[in-house]
Chains A and B, each alone.
Chain A
């Protein structure tokens, strides 16, 4: 099976899972105390929050169209980014978590696609888009814990935390698959010299870095109590960024050293990209283990469910990924798949039960 067909499926499953978890927790079936997301809204309120988000998106788009029809050319991503911040703030002030989420997503789209477009237009390393997206999702995580101790803001803690974890997880997972080797090809062999001299891109990166640092400074009180979280997050982030930046380090010293691979060089290219793919998988698994541990430490069931689901998807997809590259007999393939599933299920069930028991205690 082609890996490209699986990746959208995973993202689709992850989104469905997130929606189901939110709906399950938001519905009235549980008591308010039991709803771990603390999002309890009526249908009319849901409608209000969605409409508020839609009004912001259309309003900001019309501003962009207006500026362009007046002949003032400003990149669309500036509108989306600033509009996203505004929407998030209003969502928070108007007690509208859904509007809050819409604003955050606008912000992510603005920064990620914006930095990609700026990089493409200026013929510079497009890996910058990935770095900035990484930093933003991590900032969400950092910001979330500043809401942790305030019971009235706990829903925003959960939203930011979940978005941060999902974003980081999906990017790492995607970059760790063989299907992403073309993206690695872009990152590892950028057509032009390094970015840092370019003011526009530098500004974007500086802005995102600023947000990243502020988000963690703001949460310093929390991290002082939970030092393990800060250490693991920092190591993970630095590792991820190094993996993204390292391929370009040689270009820093010698900008003229450019690669231009032809079709025949694929084997060489795969060989160069392989370490990046391996390191991304290690990063992903470390992240999942950390999520399991934090589920136990923070006593939050949704972290447990999410990490089990991530492990399950990881085993399934990597298995297909591997089989695609080996000529395994079909019956042997299904037999081994069945055994892997049974063992994985058995292990996961045991782990889950143990952790649930220790959470209850």
Chain B
């Protein structure tokens, strides 16, 4: 029987923490292992409801982001140049104001969802504004600009969801590398842009990792 199962059994028997420690220490487990197993057994008690709510809100925000994208894409010509920029800035402002308000009243899940909506609108904006100014740039570069923005946002606001968005964008930009270098000719302006943006992106991530993740607790890892 693994230590996890043993802890689960003992918890079900309503044993106190001291009894659990005593019992498992006698069986030859280390203190750090028991500590970890206990922590995890408590974590499993997280109610399914809260996870459900998180999922619903995330699904909602992604839907709103997609709706905004398709609305802008289909009615794009109906707006003037200022109208287009206005729609994007308006969307961003509403999403951020909503996020500030929900944080103020303590709805952390809705706050995360609205922040995600804001980043999705920002991404749509990056792609669409390049259309307004009629600059033909590679999608990989737009993704880099988007990712740089999202890292900046996740540095400024507290939200775990944005970290995962950064990860997704990073993976997307890596998959775009072969196409970018095989499809585009040498000496185009895109190469300069890519070089500068790529360096900013990686410098940002390095700074982000070494400032935001520095408190990672390595003590729970026996092998570090």
A283-312 to B contact mask, C-beta < 8 Å, 1/0: 000000000000000000000000000000
Contacts of A51 in B (CB 8 A): 163, 166-167, 170, 205, 208-209
A/B interface sample: 21 pairs, CB < 8 A = A28-B4, A31-B37, A32-B222, A33-B29, A33-B30, A34-B2, A40-B222, A40-B223, A44-B216, A52-B206, A54-B173, A55-B202, A56-B202, A58-B170, A58-B174, A58-B201, A62-B199, A63-B199, A65-B194, A65-B198, A69-B195
Please count the residue pairs between chain A and chain B whose beta carbons lie under 8 angstroms apart in the complex.
Answer: 127
Tell whether B23 is near chain A: CB-to-CB under 8 Å: no
> Are B209's CB and A59's CB within 8 A?
no
Count chain A residues whose beta carbon lies closer than 8 angstroms to a beta carbon of B. Answer: 41
Task: Say which residue of A29, A33, A55, A64 sits within 8 Å of B205 (CB atoms).
Answer: A55
Q: A-facing mask of B156-167, CB < 8 A → 1, else 0? A: 000010011011
Query: Cα distance A56–B40 when bound, in Å?
Result: 33
B residues neighboring A (CB under 8 Å) = 2-4, 29-30, 32-33, 36-37, 40, 144, 160, 163-164, 166-167, 170-171, 173-174, 177, 181, 186-187, 191-192, 194-199, 201-203, 205-206, 208-209, 213, 216, 218, 220-224
A258 within 8 A of B: no
Query: Are B32 and A68 closer than 8 Å at their CB atoms?
Result: no
Docked pose: A59 CA to B196 CA in angstroms: 10
Min CB gap B192→A, angstroms: 5
With A44-B216, A58-B144 known, 12 other A-B pairs at CB within 8 A are: A31-B4, A38-B222, A39-B223, A40-B222, A47-B163, A51-B205, A54-B167, A57-B174, A58-B174, A58-B201, A69-B195, A152-B223
Contacts of A68 in B (CB 8 A): 186-187, 191
- Chain A residue with minimal CB distance to B43? A28
The docked-state distance in angstroms from the alpha carbon of A106 to that of B12 is 48
Does A126 reach chain B (CB closer than 8 Å)? no
- Contact A28/B199 with A51-B208, A52-B205 known, Cβ cut-off 8 Å: no
Given A32-B32, A32-B222, A33-B33, CB of A66 within 8 Å of CB of B199 = yes
How distant is the Cα of A105 from the Cα of B35 in the complex, in angstroms?
A: 35
User: Which chain A positions have C-beta within 8 A of B196?
Assistant: 62, 66
Pairs A-B, 9 closest by C-beta atoms = A62-B198, A59-B202, A66-B195, A54-B170, A55-B205, A69-B191, A31-B3, A55-B202, A65-B195
Known contacts being A31-B33, A40-B222, A44-B213, is A62 close to B206, with CB within 8 Å? no
Shortest distance between the CB of A275 and any CB in chain B (Å): 36
A272 at the interface (CB under 8 A from B): no
A30 CB-CB contact with B under 8 Å: yes
B29 pairs with A38, CB closer than 8 A: no
A30 in complex: contacting residue of B4, B167, B202, B206, CB < 8 Å: B4
Q: Are B202 and A32 in contact (CB under 8 A)?
A: no
Q: Are A52 and B209 in contact (CB under 8 A)?
A: yes
Which residues of chain B have C-beta atoms less than 8 A from A33's C-beta? 29-30, 33
